[in-house]
Amino acid sequence: MTAATSWTEVAYVTITAQNGADVDFCSISESINIDEGERPVETNYTLCGGKIIRTMVQGDTTVTMKAYPTQAGTAGTGTVGKGFHDMFYDSYTIDSPTEGQIDVNNTRGTRKKFRLSVLWTDDSSSNSAVRQVVSPTYAALRWTGRNGYITKVAPSFEANGQLAFDVTFMFPSNQADGACNIQVESVSGAGTTATMATLSTYTTDTSGF
């Protein structure tokens, strides 16, 4: 097939809690915005009238989503996203799995880490953003951040509107050892046999890339 000229209409979004299931959110999401932070450069003057360049540490990446969930969270090992509070807070209880009744509690504990992947592709076989895409059959572009945190969940509602949620994730650009937390991949869909591999599982022992 020919290479894509632009990505329009559809994006697949998958959020994975560390040691958790891959949960797809494209069906309740309206928009997603990715700000990878600045990589600033400063200059110092020299006595001979020149300048010395000093590179600075890259800023954190911020991802914001607008979505329309109808539930407090995604029950059990569900793979289709229903809400965000179960991810935002430390613990939740499934009172009635058959009826989807969930109680979310803001208890003290370890903050959850997440991987978030966004996939643009002309392969419509699945709603997962972490899946394999085979080229030259299909083209794709995938952005993935790992070891991030949900820092904000903000519901809003108006009398003549819909209940909407603004959700914010923060991803440090690097880990303490310098390993990168951001990965961007693509396959062109034309003139290549390359394949975009399925992302590895995201656990405390595996990278998630």
Confidence at 81, pLDDT banded by 50, 70, 90: very high
Q: What's the confidence (pLDDT) of residue 101?
A: 65
Residues 135 and 122: beta-carbon distance below 8 Å? no
Place of tokens 């392969």: 123
Query: Mind listing the pLDDT tens digit for each residue in 96-155?
Result: 555 556 666 666 666 889 999 999 999 988 899 999 998 788 999 999 999 999 999 999
pTM of the full structure: 0.89
SS3 87: helix
Q: Which domains does the chain have, with CATH numbers?
A: 12-37+55-196 (2.30.110)
SS3 26: helix
Q: Is the peptide bond before 97 cis (omega within 30 degrees of 0)?
A: no
SS3 28: helix
Residues 115 and 21: beta-carbon distance below 8 Å? no
Query: Mind listing the pLDDT tens digit for each residue in 159-172?
Result: 888 999 999 999 99
Q: For the chain, first and last CA: distance in Å?
A: 27
Specify the pairing of strand 182-187 against strand 140-156: antiparallel
Q: What's the confidence (pLDDT) of residue 183?
A: 96
